[in-house]
Structure 1
């Protein structure tokens, strides 16, 4: 059930900011942004900091790889809003929409590096089953992924398993392809702050 607070529960300064976003982007403000601005002291500020660090902080994974992880995790969770948002962002970051679509269709046959494939499979298992085994981790390590890369991928997984559940619980409105594209441009320029 979509709470009315996502439409009306903001201070005047936040309403002004949303108006400016709509004016300059010519797109609606995504519900993900509305949620982090609703109670920044309770959820928003911490979520933005954690997600920004996971998605844009120092990592051997590229921004395109991490956005692809977010899209893949969202696909495993069947979260339509986040699939749309992060598929668009991964495609722009990677400049290869076909590669992104192939991962979401079949990670096993997608034209990606073995380390990324093993990592995505592990994140899919963790997302679906809520756990991974030492054998799962050995497969990722044997594909050439470092322990730090695993830690970085797990941070992406934590951020998007949380975001996917919130998007579904609050019934985030789906955006048009143009709005997802505009949101992706913003995320690639500014990150998750």
Structure 2
């Protein structure tokens, strides 16, 4: 159910910012951004800080890898908005859309390194079942992922399990392919703050 608050519940300065963004980008502000501006003291500021650290903070995973994790978690959650946004961003980060599509279509045959494949498999299980166990972690470690990479991947998983569920709960509007591409360029240039 789409809440009307996403269309009208903002202060005048925020409305002006949205108008400027639309003017210069040629695209409306995505609902994910709108949500962070609505009551930023309650959700938005903390969400942006956590997500930016997970997605752009120091990590052994590349930005493309983390965007692919976001797309994969969103795919497991069947969140159309987040799949579109992070498929576009991962594709642009990697400069390899077919690779991203391959992962989202069939992880087991996709052309990715084993540490990433095992990590995505674990994130998928965590997203779908709500838990993982020591054996799951041993498999990821045996595939070559470091403990820090696992911790970083779990942060991405947390951010996008939250975001994809909010996207569906609030009925985020789908963007056009050009809108997703514009959003991807913004995220790669400026991050999530």
TM-score by length of 2: 1.00
**Corresponding residue number in structure 1 for 2:100:** 100
SS at match of 2:112: coil
Are 1:154 and 2:193 an aligned pair? no
Task: Give the structure 1 partner of residue 89 of structure 2.
Answer: 89
Equivalent residue runs for 1:97-136 within 5 Å:
97-136=97-136
Question: Aligned runs of 1:42-191 on 2, under 5 Å?
Answer: 42-191=42-191
**Which structure 2 segments of 5+ residues have no match?**
none
Rounded to whole Å, the distance in 2 between the matches of 1:115 and 1:4 is: 43
- CA shift at 1:133, angstroms? 1.2
The alignment covers a number of residue pairs equal to 193
Structure 2 Cα separation of the partners of residues 139 and 69 of structure 1: 17
Deviations 1:93-151 (A, max 9, x none): 00000000000000000000000000000000000000001111100000110000000
Q: Distance in 1 between the 2:65 and 2:151 partners? A: 14
Gaps of 5+ in 1: none
Q: Separation in 1 of the partners of 2:35 and 2:124?
A: 26
Instruction: Tell me, in whole angstroms, the C-alpha distance in 1 between the residues paired with 2:39 and 2:104.
Output: 33
Deviation digits for residues 62-98 of structure 1 (CA, Å, limit 9, x no counterpart): 0000000000000000000000000000000000000
- In the alignment, the residues of structure 2 paired with residue 54 and residue 144 of structure 1 have an alpha-carbon distance, to the nearest angstrom, of 20
CA–CA distance in structure 2, aligned partners of residues 133 and 43 of structure 1: 30
* DSSP 3-state at the match of 2:107: coil
RMSD of Structure 2 on Structure 1 (CA): 0.3
Could you say which residue in structure 1 is the equivalent of 2:41? Answer: 41
Q: CA deviation at 1:159?
A: 0.2
Q: How does the TM-score come out when normalised to structure 1?
A: 1.00
